[in-house]
Structure 1
Amino acid sequence: MTSLTLDGLQLLSEHRLLFFLLFFVLYAFVLCSDCLVLLVICSQRSLHRPMFMFVAALLFNSLMGSTAVYPRLLWELRWGGGSVQVTVSGCVCQAWVVYTLGASAFMLLAAMAFDRYVSICRPLRYAALVSPRAVGALLLFCWLLPAALVGVAALLAARLPLCSARLSRLYCDIYSFIRLSCGGRAALLSDAYGLLISLVTVLLPVSFVLFSYGSILYVCLYRSRTFSSKALSTCLPHLLVFINYSASAFVEVLQRRLQTDSPPSVSILSSLLILLFPTVFNPIVYGLNLSSVSGHVRRLLGCQREA
């Protein structure tokens, strides 16, 4: 097979214009808000600190993920038909981008948790452990490792013999290739390797985030109320984004792995959930919840004058 059919838009065809307007507004919001916060962080010297560098990296990651899905989805909703024809190579490339950025998001959240953990629990070693060079190396690691691991998974999936060419999705994903394959040893190998990637890029970062915030909470219990309040306020935005990503990923994995015989509408709903919530939620948290960022954003928009 040289092409695949994405049937996800057929379930949205009755309200095509409504969904087009909804996704257009959401993508415009994500594009403007992410770029605005990134502009503020890059232009303000006071924000050139490790914590805000990780915030900028996560927002850039979210922006790239949105751009990999939203434009094609909007085009098909407005001018396409009920189903979408894509080449196998194009579908594999989109799946590689989506999975790489999704895995990078969890690793970036783990890097942000590491930054907060060292800042609060090991403050005397913060300058040595979270130096600009260390931050740059950590950011490269968070992007390059998932890109390499997912790249191998995408190559394995692309080599599978397919017995079906219809996906009940709005966009391509690697696990769908395994479900469309004819089975056999190659499919089992791809499935096992996918579980290994999930362990390395999702489960381990999630475990580290839980350990880091657990340690921060333990330290705050034995410090002054002022210190605890300030420490927890800097961790709250990261924790909210972490919960959002984890909940969306959990629903997606649960639906894809356990409910293999679920109706197509459930698969479409889960793909919408993991697409919409993290990308829209991130700029709201970091643009409005971080006072050091929101103040510059308001001044940039002319809502507040410089003191």
Structure 2
Amino acid sequence: MDSEQAARPPIDIAVGILVDSRQRLLIAQRRPGTPGAGYWEFPGGKREDGEPVAECLARELAEEIGVHECVAEPLIRFAHAKGERPVRLHVSRIDAWQGEPAGLEGQTLAWVRRDELHAYRLLPATDVILNAFDLPRRYAITPASSTADVDRWWRALDQLLARGIRLLRLRDQGLDDAAYGALAADVVEAAHAQGTRVLVDRDIDLCGAVGADGLHWPVARLIDKGRPDLGVDQLLAVSAHTDSDLAMAARCGADFAVLSPVASTSTHPGAAPLGWDGWAAARADHALPVYALGGLGADDLATAERHNAQGVAAIRGFWPAA
């Protein structure tokens, strides 16, 4: 796409991910003679001027695949310019609807398991949608074990995992690499037993050695090192504090980011809080899922989602008082 095309205002598109009782996702193949012909996509369509996004989604799904009374949960909003025209996608997950999906406009439909989607030629930027679909609403970050009662720290971690946290960052800047690696190996073992993925803060070699599920880096390290060569199922998360940080994270291929601080925190007492308005302005429509971080907890999930957050990341907000 040339610079003139990229400068055009994006078209707003409402997208629905229908998930059936077997946890299969509905995709549709674009028809010959349409932009992106042959590619597969999640159903949806263009928003009319002044039309609310929810009404657009309901109308498009009724017209395209014949379903109605959809129960839609907003998932992510982001913009990209990877096709013939810049678009802003408003994506929702739909687990309940009325009617039997059918290709009413001549398109082919397929119900596909999540782990089978790689076999289909998907529209550009579908990876961003799938990252948001796969990621949980809560991202827990550990407090330092090196400054705590170790037995108490482990009791708290066990409680956290038992409560259903599914994504965890092991953060302990006070440990050298050897001590951090030893701790990480034990944490990964405990977390995997509960079905929880663990991201580590160090290098790719340590990540592989302990069997972690990816890396969490500051944006400065991503700029310096570039995206590491992680495995297919591993994640790269980035800590961001500004709009430009998020833009860099998206350009470098981060799978998700955390943006902070929303509120004042004891971890970073000198950092000026963004507040929700400032957080939303910085988050904007960057093409990656973004967690809200800083003085938040589970009670802030609904507010975070209203501001286009993937969910909430927290240390003390999730860590049990063991």
Question: TM-score by structure 2 length?
Answer: 0.21
RCO comparison, higher one (Cα < 8 Å, 6+) = 1
Q: Which has the higher strand share?
A: 2
Comparing both structures, which one devotes a greater share of its residues to helix?
A: 1
